[in-house]
Amino acid sequence: MLQKLSKLLEFFIEWRQKNLTERQFIYILSIVVGLTSGLGAVVLKNFTHFIQYRLREGIIQDYYIGFYFVFPLIGLFLVYLIMKYIIKHKVSHGIPSTLYAISQRKGIMKKFQMYGSILTAPVTIGFGGSVGLEGPTVATGAAIGSNLASAFRIKQNTRTLLIGCAAAGALSSIFKAPVAAIVFAIEVFSLDLTLMSLVPLLLASLSAIITSFMFFGSERIIPFHIEENFMVADLPYYVVLGIIAGFVSIYFAKVYDYTHRIFNRINTPVERFIIGGLALGVIVYFMPPLYGEGFNMINSLIKGNPEVALVAPIFNFNLENVWVVIALLSGLVFVKIIATSITFGAGGVGGIFAPVLFMGSIMGNTIAKIINNIPYLNLSVHESSFTLVGMGGLMAGVLHAPLTAIFLIAELTGGYNLFIPLMLTAAISYSLTKYYLNYSVYTAELGLQGKLVTHNKDKVVLMFMQLDKVIEKNFVTINYDAMLGDLVEVIAHSSRNIYPVVDDDNKFKGVIFLDDVREMMFDSKLYDKTTVASLTTMPGEIIYYDDSMPTVMDKFQRSDAWNLPVVDMGKYVGFVSKSKMLSVYRKLLVDITND
């Protein structure tokens, strides 16, 4: 069967090369990736809702609140079993794992990533994990795009573009916001906005949203159409919202990182899911709105009915008192990221997009409530507008994606009445967060390790370079135990002015420069008296065969050398010249720009 599929694939590749241009084929693949991302969103959403429905109905319906203690633990245990016995790999978080593939694996994603998130994310969220489905949907589509590119032998930069198409398709399908989805792919994956990249992104986003309409109709995840007009007098309040959003974004990132480090100290996965599951169970038991994604809470806030989501049978809060409601909402803002971080640390699979929207909506709504209820001032702002703009402000800060935040909220509300406050709040939040944090939650781990290349165009070009392609091997070696006379013979038959010195096992001992022996060459009396060993010097920098290309470039800059030797396991391989590096670099830069 596999042999027949392989032959069929070979036949198709030959047919494609004869009948389709590279650009036409990329357009077709972008549509396919958009469709698969859309279908992935459909499967993930329905599977999650099915689990939640089964848990809330039937026999356990009467005991549902009591089961809050154990649901997360059961869910994390099932995820652990699925990873260990079915997938047999660890399923990482959606978008960070995709960025890792682009930065460190040249866009190659393993096959299990095409279905890993589909099997684990719905179980995580359905049983109470406080995370979202957006990241897993992106990872699923990205893995499909990456493996399609590998199967059809498509070059690396096109593979990265297809991963961006998957991201655009995922968000377009989930939120029915095709423009924001394209902006997200460009901002988060740092894709170049050229005609070659824009058209595939458009096709992927379009095919994904059509898929979503086919399965879900016109139903939106946040069904709201804003009717209030923006008032210039409200600008100072949106400035305050932007500042608070910036500090909450920093709080989000710090708690996320701190919790991640705590769980990394726990030795075994079993201990992680037991500790995390119990902790999460306690949190969602006392704060039921933190169960799952939390879009019901967001919609209740936008509609002006937060009391519906804040009802907790174990407490008897007076929800008619607005300051009680404000206190409860504030608590949700600060505890949501703790619940999200615990879910990830315990081994759950999901994304942070939904938690960011959850926290941002509550933050904005709480600030509006405080403004409207300050005694004696008689201030009035639209709570629904602040709820939506708060979502955009926190998204801009946490994800470092201000344009995505602006366009997503504008599309979700069906108009651009909030465009000005969105721009203001997003700009302030992003600037403040960026001042304190160089990287977003998505890119922090890779960025701090110096492995993030997607947001650095120089590193992107270097990533495409391969050391094998720039090594020059036409340098004539001389033995370490030889004499000057032997070296003169080598010089006579070499067109180079550098001579690598090796021993009998080809171990690298150093180099001899022509300028250092030029005068000695004409004194034949020294031929049998001067050893090569006495003339050998060790260069300031040595390139090792497993060095990355950014490391190679750094060594050239530090040494100011024009040629550097390459050594593999101590043995001489060849030389890399700065001129060859720059020539290959320029060619790749032109190729990437043209694509």
What's the pLDDT at 156?
A: 72
Domain end call among 395, 426, 454: 454
Q: How confident is the model over 513-526, as a mean pLDDT?
A: 81
Q: Residue 432 corresponds to which amino acid?
A: L
What is the four-CA torsion angle of 110, 115, 119, 121, rounded to 10 degrees? Answer: 70
Residue 424: inside a domain: yes
3-class state of residue 502 by DSSP: strand
What's the pLDDT at 561?
A: 82
Residue 88: inside a domain: yes
Domain end call among 454, 480, 498: 454
Based on the domain organization, do 442 and 469 belong to the same domain? no
What's the pLDDT at 430?
A: 94
Domain end call among 426, 454, 482: 454
Residue 305 structure tokens? 């009915």
pLDDT exceeds 60 at position 2: no
Based on the domain organization, do 28 and 166 belong to the same domain? yes
Residue 55: inside a domain: yes
Based on the domain organization, do 305 and 369 belong to the same domain? yes
Q: Which residue has the higher pLDDT, 382 or 311?
A: 382
The residue segments making up the domain with residue 27 are: 2-216
Q: Which residue has the higher pLDDT, 224 or 43?
A: 43
Going from the C-alpha of 514 to that of each of 503, 517, 557, 580, the distances in angstroms are: 20, 6, 23, 21
Residue 196: inside a domain: yes
What's the pLDDT at 281?
A: 87
Q: Mean pLDDT, the chain, as a whole number?
A: 82
pLDDT exceeds 70 at position 459: no
| Whole-angstrom distance, CA of residue 92 vs CA of residue 105 | 15
Based on the domain organization, do 480 and 442 belong to the same domain? no
Q: Residue 336 corresponds to which amino acid?
A: K
Based on the domain organization, do 467 and 419 belong to the same domain? no
Q: How confident is the model over 38-56, as a mean pLDDT?
A: 85
Q: How confident is the model over 97-113, as a mean pLDDT?
A: 76
Residue 65: inside a domain: yes
Q: How confident is the model over 417-433, as a mean pLDDT?
A: 92
Q: Report the percentage of the chain scoring pLDDT > 70.
A: 86
Residue 39: inside a domain: yes
Beta bridge partners of 498: 513
What's the pLDDT at 427?
A: 95
Residue 222: inside a domain: no
Helical residues (DSSP H) of 304-449, grouped into ranges: 306-310, 322-345, 353-372, 383-399, 402-412, 419-436, 444-448
Based on the domain organization, do 154 and 18 belong to the same domain? yes
Going from the C-alpha of 464 to that of each of 205, 377, 469, 557, the distances in angstroms are: 27, 61, 11, 20
Based on the domain organization, do 375 and 485 belong to the same domain? no
Residue 113 structure tokens? 């990533």
The tens digit of pLDDT for each residue in 202-237 reads 999 999 999 888 887 777 777 766 666 777 888 899
What's the pLDDT at 59?
A: 47
Q: Report the percentage of the chain scoring pLDDT > 90.
A: 18
Based on the domain organization, do 182 and 82 belong to the same domain? yes
Q: What's 535's domain CATH number?
A: 3.10.580.10
pLDDT exceeds 70 at position 589: no
pLDDT band at residue 391 using 50, 70 and 90 as cut-offs: very high
Based on the domain organization, do 437 and 503 belong to the same domain? no
pLDDT band at residue 9 using 50, 70 and 90 as cut-offs: low
Based on the domain organization, do 191 and 266 belong to the same domain? no
Based on the domain organization, do 405 and 516 belong to the same domain? no
* Number of residues in the chain: 595
What's the pLDDT at 52?
A: 81
Based on the domain organization, do 567 and 505 belong to the same domain? yes
Residue 305: inside a domain: yes
163 and 142 in contact (C-beta within 8 Å)? yes
What's the pLDDT at 463?
A: 63
* Inter-residue long-range contacts of 189-194, CB under 8 Å, 24+ positions, other chains counted: 189/98, 189/99, 189/102, 189/160, 189/163, 189/164, 189/454, 190/454, 190/455, 191/160, 191/161, 191/164, 192/457, 192/592, 192/593, 194/593, 194/595
Query: Which DSSP string do the residues of 273-287 spell out, in sequence order?
Result: HHHHHHHHHHHHHH-
What's the pLDDT at 311?
A: 60
| Whole-angstrom distance, CA of residue 368 vs CA of residue 385 | 9
pTM, two decimal places:
0.77
The tens digit of pLDDT for each residue in 540-568 reads 889 898 887 778 888 888 887 888 899 99
Provide the domain count of the chain. 3
372 and 383 in contact (C-beta within 8 Å)? yes
Q: How confident is the model over 496-518, as a mean pLDDT?
A: 87
What's the pLDDT at 65?
A: 60
Q: How confident is the model over 59-80, as a mean pLDDT?
A: 74
Q: What's 132's domain CATH number?
A: 1.10.3080.10
The tens digit of pLDDT for each residue in 259-281 reads 988 998 888 888 888 998 899 88
| Helices and strands in the chain: count of H runs, count of E runs | 26, 7
Most confident of 89-98, 107-116, 197-206, 584-593: 197-206
pLDDT exceeds 90 at position 319: no
pLDDT exceeds 60 at position 457: no
